[in-house]
């Protein structure tokens, strides 16, 4: 997604929230500002801390409720890391899972194409639809294996 497309997504958020009966408050403005400046993955706690830094009147409950709505709108996607903590992916371009090294803690995105055989097999043999945003495969990366 290009920079112009991203600006358009964020510019449309106030109207999309109002359409859902939500007010466009300074707290929500702070949240959208934080998300618009972010790339990749953030923990929910990081989002809350950045929002409070931007607007000290921000309450965590407003942030969490608004994040839920933003996920419904497809602007963010939440996932759970291998340690169970929730992560927010801002403006996800494509569905993906994650690889996480248990030794060094590094994480990589795992494109859906690399999991295609597995997800098709689970659908065919078990009737199970995989939500890749919740798939994290834990192991050891090449660097840690060689160390």
Please list the pLDDT of the chain residue by residue as tens digits (147 residues).
566 688 898 999 999 999 999 999 999 999 999 999 987 788 889 999 999 999 999 999 999 999 999 999 989 988 776 666 778 888 877 778 888 898 998 888 888 899 999 999 999 999 999 888 778 888 999 999 987
> Could you tell me the pTM of the whole model?
0.73
Domain residue ranges of the chain, discontinuous segments joined by +: 3-90, 96-146
Closest listed residue to residue 82, CA positions, set 136, 144, 139, 141: 136
* 88: Cα within 13 Å, side-chain hemisphere: 26
| Whole-number Å distance between alpha carbons of 64 and 45 | 10
Looking at domain 3-90, which CATH architecture does it have?
A: Orthogonal Bundle (1.10)
State the fold for domain 96-146: Dna Ligase; domain 1 (3.30.1490)
């Amino acid at each position: 997604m290009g920079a112009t497309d991203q600006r358009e997504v964020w510019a449309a958020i106030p109207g999309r929230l109002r359409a859902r009966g939500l007010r466009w408050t300074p707290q929500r403005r702070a949240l959208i500002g934080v998300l618009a400046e972010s790339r990749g993955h953030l923990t929910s706690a990081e989002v809350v801390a950045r929002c409070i830094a931007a607007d000290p009147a921000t309450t965590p409950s407003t942030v969490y409720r608004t994040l839920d709505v933003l996920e419904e709108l497809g602007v963010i996607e939440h996932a759970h890391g291998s340690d169970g903590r929730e992560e927010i992916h801002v403006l996800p371009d494509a569905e993906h899972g994650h690889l996480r090294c248990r030794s060094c803690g590094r994480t990589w995105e795992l494109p859906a194409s690399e999991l295609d055989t597995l997800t098709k097999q689970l659908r065919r043999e078990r009737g199970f639809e995989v939500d890749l945003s919740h798939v994290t495969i834990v192991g050891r990366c090449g660097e840690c294996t060689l160390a």
